[in-house]
Structure 1
Amino acid sequence: MYWSFASDLWAIATNTTFVGGRSLLRASARFAFANVTSAMLLTQNLTLPSPLPAGLTLLASTIGPFGSVDMVYVPCPASLLSWYHRMLSSLNRLLVTDRDAQAAFLSLPLKQYVGPFPKALNYTDIAFVGGNLLCGDDLAASPLHVSIIVASPLYRAFTPSTACHTLVFEFTSPDKFQLLFALAGYSASRAISTKTLSSLCAYDFTAAYSCSDVYRAMQLFLTLYNASFAAPNELAPGLEASVRQLDVQFVQFILNASVPSLFHANIFDDDQAQDASWPFYGWVFLYGWAAGTREVVRFAGDSGALTAISGPLLTHSMRPNPAEIRHDLAIVLLTSVQYMTVVFVLLAMTIALYMMSSLLHIEGRNLFQMNRTIGLVWIGRPCLLLRSVTAMVCLHTSAISLTQVGAVSAFTTPVVPWYTRLLVSGEVNWLVYVLNDTLSVYTKATTPVYATRSALLAWLVMFVWISVSPATYDARLERSCVALDMDQVLTCSSGYVQLGSVRRLWYTLAVCCSCVGLSFVSTRQTSSTPTSLFLSSAGKYMLRTHKLNGLDYMDKASGLMAGLVSLHWHAHGFYVFDIKKWRFLYVASPDAPGRFAHAIPLRH
């Protein structure tokens, strides 16, 4: 079709062409195209046949000589895509919310094929000799004469997969939505009667005995549930007018009384008095254009232009490669959570054993600090920070599920009860614990007071936030392709799914830092803390101890949370393993009354 500059370079560099060794400068005496055209070179390199068939001659006379024809891909209009998505959304919403409508839709009869036939070609003097614009009258050797419409199929329009001289007819295998789409658009600006529906079958070369019944059932469904399609139907007349202005043509090479001719008609022919069915088939074509199963190409030459719609395209289904889904970070987060859970369960069981062995000799209030102290002492800040990131990611990820409603499926968001929101909002405290422990170097004696307040405040703020503004998902079909390195690689995207928000993670970090800062600034009260070297900051500031004769005592369950694994041997004293320093210690049994006799004396 088009002779590019690269073809010029090839032609003058090849001695076997008409312009071999000549110049591309127009002022040169050896100018390559002084007496040679690009069409002659296309014939010489066997791209074009010689002599040129009648069909290709007609095409050249219509749009201009070969070698100077631009083929421009015409994208689907935004208004058509919007109408397509609105119709699809309206139907999906109707089927999900109305079981009666769903049953009515499922009971609609299905039409196997739709074969458009222009009324203007319904003459016995006419024969079809080709439909592929790129092949001309390639089937002229066996012309298909018009007799009766059901025995006179049209030849298929151009497609990337249809080779010349291939006997393929122009038809569509519609689904129920395509017929509803076409009928809704067609009837939005026309009065529909039984006679009109019958005319759709009269000019359908694939019409069967049930053709009228199918269209009547489809029209009855649209009438019965007209309210659901009212909004998109208001846009249909304007959409049809805008597409008509694009002058999209359906092309067919014919013999008219043995005279070759190029028939082309606008898919929305204005002359409805002659052919009331043709605009309906125009809507069938529009569905294919919007759904991506047909293309529109503008052939612009030196003499004119022709905008033609293609035949049905072969669609390819490709599964996403699981190896391309990034899951390394998820594995790290999952492993850290599993590790922490195992540690918490084992320590909780051990604490329970300590409590049963000395039920009356424990400090119960220290159990409220179990998460904080076990996390900071036994697990450490890095893993606790990972746990906090995991908690925030889960907190700001919308949960969606595929739910079956009768015979259809829909994405639904489960309703989270208030008590579940209250529970999960406390997960941000992992980050608060890390901040409190890190800042304890500066906050010192105020840590026992403000740390608990900051955790409760962050918990409350997060609960209110996720209750008022919960995380939502964003999922939509958004097909797009980008060509890389000319046509070497085509990167395509079919849709967009967002289940979480990174911005909400940053907001959560700001909430935690603000709660810690506000709690510290508003706290003037201090608390006395033990001076034992046995205790880390978490155990020193957050666990309660008791004094007797100037010596601090800590019960065995609290000591375990603080990293002191103890065994009380009454005859000898306490054998203590300090997990922080990785050492065994022996502490003599104190000569103390009551609960102090069962507690660990913090002598060092």
Structure 2
Amino acid sequence: MTGAHAFTATWLNEWIVLGREALPLLIDKPLVQLDSNQVAVEGAFDQSVAMVPSVANFGAELQYTRLNVLDQAIAGLRATSGCDVPWIFTQYCYVDFNQRWELANSASRQARCKASMTANGAVFIESVLRNVDSCEFKSCWGDAFTSGIANEVQSTTQGQQWLQDTLSPVFVLSIADEIALWRAHNITTFDTQWQNFKRIGLINSYTISNLYGVSYPFNLQYQNTSFRLAKQAMFIMYWGLANDFDAVAPNRSSSSSPSHPPLLLSGRSLVRSSPLYAFANTSLEAVLQLNGTLPPALSQIHQRFRHVIGPFGSIDMHFIACPKAAKHAVAIIFDMLNRVLGTNHDAKRDFYNITDPSSGITPAPKAWTDVNFVPVGGSPFCAEVPFAGQGSIAMGMVSFPSWEAQCKSFITWTLIAPTRRYLVTSVLLSNLTDVARICAQNVQYQAKCTDFVNEIVSFVSTYLVDLVLLDLIEAATTAIRNTRVEMIQFGQTSADDPVELYRYRVLEDPFGGNEFAFFSWMYLIEWTLGLREVVSFQGDVRTMAILTEYTAPLQQQVDGAQTPVNFSIYMRSAVWYITLAMIAVTSLLLLYVFASHGQIEVSNLLELQRVGAIVWVGRPLLFLRGLTAIDLLSTAILELAFDGYMSTFRVGHPPWYKTVLAANEVTWMVAIVDDLAMPLTQGYTPYYATTNSILVWTITASLSYYWPVTHVVSLAQRCAIVQMDAQIVCTSGDIAIGHVSRLVTLAMLVLASKLVCFVAARILVRRRVANDVHIKSIFVYAGAKYLFELSKWMSCDVYYMDRMSAAMNGILTVQLHETMHALDIKLWRVFSVDLSDEASSIPNHHVHAAAYRRALPLISDE
């Protein structure tokens, strides 16, 4: 199960990131079959320890893109502790929905708020305070809130009423009514901002359902929220409400550090209309410099970025979602490639013969290499590195803004981890034409680039020519261009020149060609897969959407404790016990055969299942054994296969004889039903019991062999915010490997066959039943009474039960001299029979005299 789960989770994680909306385009019906060619993953999954890769920041992507709708946001806020409110990362614009009290820390930002942000509930502090526990909030942040906001608000009668209604409402609105209130103020979303001082946790799972409809969860990703304040680099843009509150809180000490803002703001107000407004005579940028978040003397990168975007401390950072059209295009190409590799052996051979590209790509746009500047940085969060000793941009680009990496005093090159699959996709999406001109932008590895690009172009032209892709490619390209995503580098043309900001808008070559589109799509594919992000930096001067650095996938070991084995162990143990018990009973019967010198009713051995098993094992355990067989026959078989390159699922088809043997186990259910119905069917039982068992066995085997159970995969991600801007829980799909319909079918088959066979017996053998010999005795089990051969063992109302049949009937016998001692395990009663008296009543010339004298005589109660 470890390998199967690792394979499934790896595949499912990728398709979830590419978007649920893409799936109907990829398959012929809304449900996926795991054994289809599109479900394939490179590599083997046969190790005892397996890892599941997932997008490390997928929780943040869900928060920013799918869970920003009002119902999810309000429910998430109500699940959030009041103490965590200031750590919800957003820059507030207003105190209340009616926009009476403004909160932006600069006039320019307040103008931006009014112009474009009022539809976002996250810029109103009222949206949060209305939906959290106000007592919790005030216990943690009450003094700071009073100083920073409440004092100014409550200076008017309207403000006092607002505080009363917001913090101490008479009743809490339902979520539906709360949504209506927000919409009445034209609020449509709740968009928090991008940050890297905390990880937004995600617990994401899928389920596997058995035939009983019981679902067992398996982790796709398991991360709890965590702070990383010491590793963040983004507080220079804006440091969050928590730090605002910390700065304006009254009665602060005189200490000042990056984690403790300076004393000069203590007791001030965050409301712009207040005479004590904190930023009336200073700016947040100056405060950041004073407490060390920004250096007192800005680096050249910081100066240049400030000039282009605007002052630090007032910069909004918004997560830009990857366009669905781009995700769709990548998903469809991946699917098409998997189909080709899964059905064409030559294509698979040629694909894996393509030169490994992982260490041969360090591109830079021609517009930059023509300038031939020396890159000294690639992130606005970090200062530049020294010019001396650095290579030109032709050697490759340096690290982009990173969510994870910290600033360093030396150059680090931007990471790009292309695979053959990425390169094939890039060739298709970029409409690649002139290989030489394209690889000229990969100066350091130009020859190697030419080799593998030519190989990929040859592969694509041979196996992946499909005109249907043209519309998808055009839609994806247009969608990317509309986001205005840029790559940036900071560089100098000489040591004496100032640092300049170099910008390249992806897929929009300034020379009118598409030479760099091939390399751009490599970065963009990683964006579609969640391995990169795009962040829009919105300042007082302008806005710029910047592509971020590669973030390595999260690798988590498969948790073996999630595999549900307890019930299967119990059932397997029960099956083993029953098997051993029946072997023991059979051995006991053989001993009595020898003890009786063969004087037994051989035909009674055929009733071992219907009499011996029920007497010695019991109906509950036999029911469990029959149920185990039905479980197996009602469950789909999926086997993980590896062809040396890729792993896939294959539907298992057991040999016919295994199916026949499994179907035979269902006849235990037949035996139980026959036994329970015997008070009604009585003497008709022996006339249909065997036919009934054979009929059920045959139909079950045929049904299981020709119409086996199939698995069903349903992909539907459902998420909930359990802590706003901090923790998300999702279920992303279900794999049904068992179907209750087959369980019900087999159960109804057992009952229907019983009824049909009984009715047929009633019609066909009515007169014969009336003449059958029967015995009534508390020592004779009902099954033995109606199923054992009695006619030749009855004499003068005495049933001479041979000792083998007696043992099957639950009576253990020991003969000492002329006395037969017996223990009935059904009644837990011991009794003895004097055989000398019985022997004298049996004529010597009786055909069964010898057998009677070795049998247990039981007198009929009739």
TM over 0.5: yes
Task: Confirm whether residue 103 of structure 1 aligns to residue 349 of structure 2.
Answer: yes
Question: Which residue matches 1:284?
Answer: 522
Cα 1:45/1:209, change in 2 over 3 Å: same
Which of 530, 541, 545 matches 2:775?
530
- What SS does the aligned partner of 1:48 have? coil
Equivalence map 1:454-533=2 (5 Å)? 455-456=693-694, 458-473=696-711, 484-485=722-723, 498-501=736-739, 504-505=742-743, 508-509=746-747, 511-513=749-751, 515=753, 524=762, 529-533=774-778
CA contact (8 A) 1:96 1:405 kept: no
Q: Per-residue CA shift, 1:447-482, capped at 9, x if unaligned? A: 556665665554455345434542234579999998
Task: Confirm whether residue 261 of structure 1 aligns to residue 508 of structure 2.
Answer: no
CA contact (8 A) 1:116 1:171 kept: no
Cα 1:220/1:341, change in 2 over 3 Å: same
Which of 288, 294, 302 matches 1:48?
294
Task: Confirm whether residue 602 of structure 1 aligns to residue 858 of structure 2.
Answer: yes
Task: Confirm whether residue 175 of structure 1 aligns to residue 414 of structure 2.
Answer: no
| More displaced 10-residue stretch of structure 1: 585-594 or 382-391 | 585-594
Which of 331, 348, 354 matches 2:586?
348
CA contact (8 A) 2:797 2:859 kept: no
Question: Which residue matches 2:806?
Answer: 559
Question: Which residue matches 2:406?
Answer: 163
Cα 1:282/1:514, change in 2 over 3 Å: farther
How big is the shift at 1:155?
0.8
Question: Which residue matches 2:238?
Answer: 2
| More displaced 10-residue stretch of structure 1: 244-253 or 296-305 | 296-305
Cα 1:579/1:9, change in 2 over 3 Å: same
Task: Confirm whether residue 13 of structure 1 aligns to residue 259 of structure 2.
Answer: no
| More displaced 10-residue stretch of structure 1: 25-34 or 201-210 | 25-34
Cα 1:435/1:551, change in 2 over 3 Å: same
Q: Distance in 2 between matches of 1:516 and 1:208?
A: 78
Q: Distance in 1 between matches of 2:517 and 2:246?
A: 46
Q: Distance in 1 between matches of 2:286 and 2:758?
A: 88
Q: Distance in 2 between matches of 1:384 and 1:291?
A: 52
Q: Which runs of 5+ in 1 are unaligned?
A: none
Bigger relative contact order, structure 1 or 2, given CA contacts below 8 A and separation 6+? 2
- What SS does the aligned partner of 2:385 have? coil
Cα 1:282/1:210, change in 2 over 3 Å: closer
Q: Distance in 2 between matches of 1:364 and 1:302?
A: 100
Equivalence map 1:46-445=2 (5 Å)? 46-111=292-357, 112-124=359-371, 126-135=373-382, 137-139=383-385, 141-142=387-388, 144=390, 146=392, 149=394, 152-165=395-408, 166-187=410-431, 190=432, 192=433, 196-226=434-464, 235-255=472-492, 258-269=497-508, 271=510, 273-301=511-539, 303-355=541-593, 361-440=599-678
Q: Distance in 1 between matches of 2:740 and 2:293?
A: 56
How big is the shift at 1:204?
0.9
Cα 1:599/1:80, change in 2 over 3 Å: farther
CA contact (8 A) 1:113 1:171 kept: no
Q: Per-residue CA shift, 1:372-411, capped at 9, x if unaligned? A: 3333221223322332332232222222333343554433
Task: Confirm whether residue 39 of structure 1 aligns to residue 285 of structure 2.
Answer: yes
How big is the shift at 1:157?
1.0
How big is the shift at 1:338?
1.2
CA contact (8 A) 2:374 2:387 kept: no
Q: Distance in 2 between matches of 1:553 and 1:79?
A: 85
Q: Distance in 2 between matches of 1:81 and 1:369?
A: 65
- What SS does the aligned partner of 2:504 have? strand
Counterpart code for 2:486:
Q
Cα 1:274/1:339, change in 2 over 3 Å: same
CA contact (8 A) 1:447 1:541 kept: yes
Q: Distance in 2 between matches of 1:36 and 1:465?
A: 81
TM-score (norm 1): 0.84
How big is the shift at 1:10?
1.4
Q: Distance in 2 between matches of 1:298 and 1:363?
A: 90
Q: Distance in 2 between matches of 1:17 and 1:474?
A: 63
CA contact (8 A) 1:2 1:69 kept: yes
- What SS does the aligned partner of 1:422 have? helix
Q: Which runs of 5+ in 2 are unaligned?
A: 1-236, 253-261
Q: Distance in 2 between matches of 1:94 and 1:205?
A: 33
CA contact (8 A) 1:129 1:253 kept: yes
Cα 1:380/1:120, change in 2 over 3 Å: same
Cα 1:124/1:328, change in 2 over 3 Å: same
Root-mean-square deviation over aligned CA pairs: 3.8
Question: Which residue matches 1:549?
Answer: 796
Q: Distance in 2 between matches of 1:40 and 1:446?
A: 100
Cα 1:99/1:566, change in 2 over 3 Å: farther
Q: Per-residue CA shift, 1:60-90, capped at 9, x if unaligned? A: 4544443344434445455544544444444
CA contact (8 A) 1:3 1:38 kept: no
Counterpart code for 1:182:
S
| More displaced 10-residue stretch of structure 1: 459-468 or 556-565 | 459-468
Cα 1:109/1:560, change in 2 over 3 Å: same
Cα 1:101/1:398, change in 2 over 3 Å: same
- What SS does the aligned partner of 1:123 have? helix
- What SS does the aligned partner of 1:122 have? helix
Identity of aligned residues (%): 27
TM-score (norm 2): 0.61
| More displaced 10-residue stretch of structure 1: 455-464 or 320-329 | 455-464
Counterpart code for 1:601:
P
How many residues of Structure 1 are paired with residues of Structure 2 in the alignment? Answer: 591
